[in-house]
Every structure is written in structure tokens, then in C-alpha cells.
């Protein structure tokens, strides 16, 4: 996954800034979780049972859920999702070790690419204030701004985990990925 951070202009609009924040967190996540072998991806950090592989699969699932529930009029979850999502609420964490590192990274990268494509089109057609496709059950739909901030918050929370775990694995530290 590309870890290049492209700064927005000093006069960037709201949509550009929202996407920049998300892309910066994605790049940092890719840097903190990338290039690890199966042992490193499945290592726990007691007392937590969380793993970097679990983080990768969890954020792939989050990307897919947002893309399919909020950003798509025709939701289709990928075949790596379980048929009964309610059976194991922790499924993405507990099944990450079933995948090779290459599979885990490909699952996440594919989910990110799909999200990027759909978001770019939606933001071009209505901007951040445009209603998402998600129905809260009351007939209300959060706007794209709300959905993007919530998606970014998910990354912000887990980039912190990945930062600590990666330092424990091989000493990699820093706020942003090194830029060429």
C-alpha cells in the first residue's frame, strides 16, 4: 500500500480536507502494519488479545461496511465476510490468523480502493453535505461529512494501537511514514 502523504493546498475545501485526513491515517496505518510476516501479524500484546493482523482485517471490514452501508446504493459485501454477521461479533479479529500476510494486506487494500472510488464519485455529486445511503431506521440518513469523520475516527483509534504494537515488534516509531 502506498504510504505517500500528499498535502492539500493551503486553501483546500472541506471535502478535500476530510479526504486528506482519512488518507493520511490510511498511509500511517499502512506504514505501521505493512511488511510483517505471519508471526508478527498474529502476535498479541497482553493483556489485550488484539493483533496487528486483527487490526488489518478489522479496518478492511470497517471500510467495506462504510462503503456498502453509507456510500453505496447497491450494497454487496465481499465473500470474505461471514454469511451470518451476528453469529460472532468479533469475527474479523478471531479469523485474521486464518489468512496469509499477503491475503490480509490484499483484503484491506481492496476495501480501501473500493471506498476511494465510491467516495470520490459521491463527493463530486453533492459534497460532504450530501445524504448517505444509510437509513437510521427513523428515515434519517447521516450526511457524508458525518460518515467520513466516523470512518476517520476508526482509523485514528487503531493507528494508535498499530503504533504501539509495531514499536514492540521491531522498534519502528514515528508519526508519519517516511516520505521520499
Q: CATH top-level class for 14-170?
A: mainly alpha
Query: Are the beta carbons of 177 and 43 closer than 8 angstroms?
Result: no
Over the range 60-92, which residues count as b (16 or more CB within 10 Å of their CB) and which as e? Answer: bbbbbbbbbebbbeeeeeeebeeeeeeeeeebb
Cell numbers 478489522: residue: 58
Domain ranges of the chain: 14-170
- Quote the pTM value: 0.95
Question: pLDDT 10s per residue in the chain (180 long)?
Answer: 889 999 999 999 999 999 999 999 999 999 999 999 999 999 999 999 999 999 999 999 999 999 999 999 888 889 999 988 888 999 999 999 999 999 999 999 999 999 999 999 999 999 999 999 999 999 999 999 999 999 999 999 999 999 999 999 999 998 899 997
Neighbours of 53 (CB within 10 A): 26
Other CB atoms closer than 10 Å to residue 130's CB: what's the count? Answer: 15
Cα distance between residue 62 and residue 46, in whole Å? 24
Amino acid at each position: 500500500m502506498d504510504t505517500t502523504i500528499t498535502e492539500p493546498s493551503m486553501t483546500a475545501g472541506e471535502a478535500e480536507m476530510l479526504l486528506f485526513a482519512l488518507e493520511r491515517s490510511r498511509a500511517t496505518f499502512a506504514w505501521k502494519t505493512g511488511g510483517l510476516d505471519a508471526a508478527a501479524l498474529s502476535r498479541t500484546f497482553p493483556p489485550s488479545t488484539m493483533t496487528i493482523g486483527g487490526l488489518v482485517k478489522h479496518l478492511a471490514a470497517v471500510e467495506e461496511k462504510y462503503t456498502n452501508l453509507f456510500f453505496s446504493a447497491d450494497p454487496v459485501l465481499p465473500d470474505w465476510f461471514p454469511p451470518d454477521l451476528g453469529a460472532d461479533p468479533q469475527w474479523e479479529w478471531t479469523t485474521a490468523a486464518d489468512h496469509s500476510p499477503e491475503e490480509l494486506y490484499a483484503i484491506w487494500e481492496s476495501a480501501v480502493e473500493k471506498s476511494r472510488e465510491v467516495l470520490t464519485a459521491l463527493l463530486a455529486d453533492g459534497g460532504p453535505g450530501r445524504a448517505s445511503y444509510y437509513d437510521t431506521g427513523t428515515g434519517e440518513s447521516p450526511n457524508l461529512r458525518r460518515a467520513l469523520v466516523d470512518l476517520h475516527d476508526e482509523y485514528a483509534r487503531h493507528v494508535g494501537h498499530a503504533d504501539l504494537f509495531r514499536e514492540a515488534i521491531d522498534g519502528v516509531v514515528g508519526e508519519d511514514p517516511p516520505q521520499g
